[in-house]
Structure 1
Amino acid sequence: MAYIDLGVDETADPGIRGLLRYRPETGRPLMELAEVLLRGPSTLSRGERELIASYVSGLNDCGYCTNSHGAFAAAQLDEGRPLVEQVRADPSSAPISDKLKALLRIAAATRNSGHDVTPDLIAQAREAGATDAEVHDVVLIAAAFSMFNRYVDALGTLAPEDPAPYEAAAPRIVENGYLA
């Protein structure tokens, strides 16, 4: 049960969903940000961006966001759930591009502290083929999801352990996005 009365059935609106309904005036801009970051125009695929969100959320120990965005990534990546699990366990040995590995290192540094993103990390990403726009977007995804993770966990929202609700939501998010 959330630490505050959200005025919703948490089993129907777990995690961030209940928080968004509690304060729609802040919830709508947050979802607009998620929509742009994860589904807007980018040279990174939607699946890759969801994977970054899930990875950062895992590093932040946010079960709700790790599992939901992991399910959304799996639904959009050819390699599906096994790839999501490999990346979360050890991105350096996962079967992903060197560019994505370098971007995940930037994401991990960002979630720890903006000061941990070094010129060397940026150079490694560029050497692996990352563009400035991709570096920018990864930093913003990592920063935003660190905020989302803290929002969800600091208010003690429900995070189902069963993967079924997250997997059930994936087709809706893939088809309609975060603003539907």
Structure 2
Amino acid sequence: MSDNQRPVSRFPIPERLDDLPQDIRERIEKVAEKTGFIPNVFLALAHRPDEFRAFFAYHDALMERPSNLSKAEKEMIVVATSAANDCLYCVVAHGAILRIRSKNPRLATQIAANYRRAEITPRQRAMIEYALKVALDSARIDESDWQPLYDHGFTQEDIWEIGAIAAFFAMSNRLANMSALCPNDEFYTLGQ
């Protein structure tokens, strides 16, 4: 159960970390040591070890690699697309990360509610607009969608990265929604 007594997920979560494969247990313990709690997504995926490893490997490849996008900008993409996909878990969890990385306690709420009115640059607005098209209407993307990004100095590699983050979190949003993944209470106050 989460702190607010709702189940973490519709699916099983481990009763004890000691029952998990060592690499997964160590990753969860490292995150818990850094944050002071275990984000529920780690528990929800832990019952499927191969998927846990694949999910976090791709997550890290996108979100942790050096890039022309700042870590805060990557989180802006996650928050905007997760809001469009109605994913409570990802909006709350990544909203907390965005507040911390942007050092702006208002930004995550603004982006989730209406990115067009958020305290962001025109460059970041173009980035979010493209990410939303990837998340919601990817079959209609063509080269004309890239021009606003080029106009703001994004490269083709940056465009791939924006799209890959949006696509990865579209999958994550669907997993969180189908499993009724409950956000940790701790996320609501981080970075406020």
Query: TM-score range with shorter-chain normalisation?
Result: 0.7 to 0.9
Deviations 1:14-53 (A, max 9, x none): 6422222111211012111111211211011111101211
The TM-score, its normalising length taken from structure 1, stands at: 0.81
> For residue 147 of structure 2, what is the amino acid of its counterpart?
A
> Does the 8 Å contact 1:50/1:69 carry over to 2?
yes
1: CA distance between counterparts of 2:181 and 2:39?
6
Q: What is the aligned partner in structure 1 of residue 179 from structure 2?
A: 155
Give the CA deviation at 1:155.
Answer: 1.8
Identity of aligned residues (%): 24
Residue identity in the other structure for 1:97: T
Aligned pairs for 1:69-108 within 5 A:
69-78=94-103, 80-108=104-132
1:3 to 4, 10, 32: 10
TM-score (normalised: structure 2):
0.76
Q: What's the C-alpha RMSD, in Å, of the aligned pairs?
A: 2.1
Q: 1:49 aligns with which of 50, 69, 74?
A: 74
Q: Secondary structure at the match of 1:61?
A: coil
Whether contact under 8 Å (1:102, 1:121) holds in the other structure is: no
Counterpart contact for 1:8–1:18, Cα < 8 Å:
no
Structure with larger Rg: 2
Quick one: distance in 1 between partners of 2:188 and 2:141?
31
Query: Does residue 64 in structure 1 map to residue 89 in structure 2?
Result: yes
* Structure 2 stretches lacking a partner, 5+ long: 1-6, 17-36
CA contact (8 A) 2:91 2:112 kept: no
Correspondence for 2:162 among 124, 131, 138: 138
Compared CA separation, residues 95 and 165, structure 1 to 2 (3 A): closer
In structure 1, stretches of 5+ residues that fail to align are 171-180
Partner residue, 1:17: 42
Counterpart residue type for residue 13 of structure 2? L
Decide whether the 8 Å contact of 2:12 with 2:44 is kept in 1: no
Q: 1:89 to 1:59 in 2, by over 3 A?
A: same
Q: State the shift of 1:157 in Å.
A: 2.4
